[in-house]
Amino acid sequence: MIRPIVKFGVAGLQAPSQPVVEFDTALHTLIDDMIETMYAAPGIGLAAPQIGVPLQVCVIDLSIGKRGGQVITLVNPEFVEREGLQLEEEGCLSVPGLQATVPRSERAVVTGRDRDGLPITIEGHGLLARALQHELDHLDGRLFLDRLRGIQRDVIVRRIRKQQRQGAW
């Protein structure tokens, strides 16, 4: 089932999420809904808080569903290593239509659990490293906007506020 994506400014989106304790049918349904929602958006990643569920779950598929079996599902993920630097433009399904250049590590290693509770380790470089960092930020209650400083952040937030006033957000 496709679920509505929570946008910047909605309560809960910027609050830390809770660890998953039960790997059950409800979790599998949540993950399946997240994947369907991510593809429908379309996007390359989605975290549970983006659909209003405050749990440490995220899904990533750099192919946007074009190549089967490419979905990475992470439950209760944590960074093990991060190194290097990349500066690329980034967007977010919770901040639609707005992008900014965000500094991220070039390489990221994450451990967590898969949808069945089995241990998993993912090492990402480039875009995958960026996606891992972006989605784990969501689980900590952070948006890419929180990584911006000064006028760059102010301009984007003003655009959002204007759209909110006009009822277009």
Which positions are catalytic?
135
Q: Is the dihedral of CA 62, 17, 15, 124 positive or negative?
A: negative
DSSP assignment of 26-80: HHHHHHHHHHHHHHHTT-SEEEGGGGT--BSEEEE-TTTTSSTT--EEEEEEEEE
Question: 64 — alpha (psi -120 to 50), left (phi > 0) or beta?
Answer: left
Please give the Cα distance from 77 to 114 (Å, whole number): 9
